[in-house]
Amino acid sequence: MDSNDSQVVVSETADKSFLRELIEANVTRRLIPKGLSWFGCMGGLSLVAFIIQLSTGIFLMFYFIPNIRESLASIQHVSHSVPYGWLIQRIHAIGPHIMVGMVFSHMLRILFKGIYRHPREMHWVSGACLLILTLLMYYTGSLLTAHNVNGHHPIHLTRIYATHVAGIPLSMALFMGIHFFMVRKTGIFESL
């Protein structure tokens, strides 16, 4: 075996143990305080609800036509002609009502338990922005179909669509990054 070969082997084992350490420290060997409240799951559930919206939304993007004349027809096409399209469309339309409920109960728990206090101010600030963005998400999304009811709208449908599928979700991803980074940094709140 020449010296080059053995060096490769060494760096590979070093990499493996690094990965293993990462997994052990963060998952398999990680210890957390006992007796966390089930109500504390609301943040995690908001995240799951968001991911459901994201995945069904990406599916709907393949079919939706952001045009006043064709948008209703494209939604009808997804719901009636595409296999299981109705299910995806229904989940995407009803999910937000549940997601808003989850985010609100998450917020109320933090408000009433006073968890927003120092050192968790930034958790609140990023979270409150997430709540506002969630409501804006609902509003822009409902305008996409409301068009078909009203016939016309002063704002161009393409703008609303771009805001709904790219602008707001990307800023939500940014604020979620801040939110989760802060939660990891301070650790979750433990009542004494």
Residues near other proteins (CB under 8 A) are 26-34, 36, 38, 41, 44-45, 48-49, 52, 87, 90-91, 93-95, 97-98, 100, 102, 104, 111-118, 120-121, 124-125, 128-129, 132, 135, 138-139, 142-143, 145-146, 149-150, 184-187, 191-192
Site mask, ligand HEM, residues 70-109, x = CB under 6 A?
---------------------------------x--xx--
Given its phi and psi angles, is residue 187 left (phi above 0), alpha (psi -120 to 50 degrees) or beta? Answer: left
Contacts of 56 (CB under 8 A, 6+ apart): 88, 89, 91, 92, 95
Cβ atoms of 123 and 183 closer than 8 Å: yes
Distance CA 62, CA 123 (A): 35
Q: Which option in other proteins, ligand HEM, none does residue 118 bind, with CB closer than 5 to 8 A by kind?
A: other proteins
Q: Please compute, for residue 138, the number of CA atoms within 13 A of its CA located in the half-sphere on the CB side.
A: 14
Does 127 contact ligand HEM by CB under 6 A? yes
Smallest distance from ligand HEM to CB 174, Å: 12
In the bound state with other proteins, the residue whose beta carbon lies nearer, of 96 and 165, is 96
The helix or strand, by DSSP H or E, that contains position 10, with its residue range, turns out to be helix 3-23
Smallest distance from ligand HEM to CB 57, Å: 14
Six-digit token string for 186: 């301070």
Smallest distance from other proteins to CB 8, Å: 32
> Strand, helix or coil at 36?
coil
Six-digit token string for 10: 């060494």
Contacts 24+ apart (CB under 8 A), 83-87: none
Does 43 contact ligand HEM by CB under 6 A? yes
Smallest distance from ligand HEM to CB 177, Å: 11
Does 179 contact ligand HEM by CB under 6 A? yes
- Compute the residue count for the chain: 192
Which positions lie near ligand HEM, rule CB under 6 A? 40, 42-44, 46-47, 50, 103, 106-107, 110, 115-116, 120, 123-124, 127-128, 130-131, 134, 176, 179, 183, 188-189
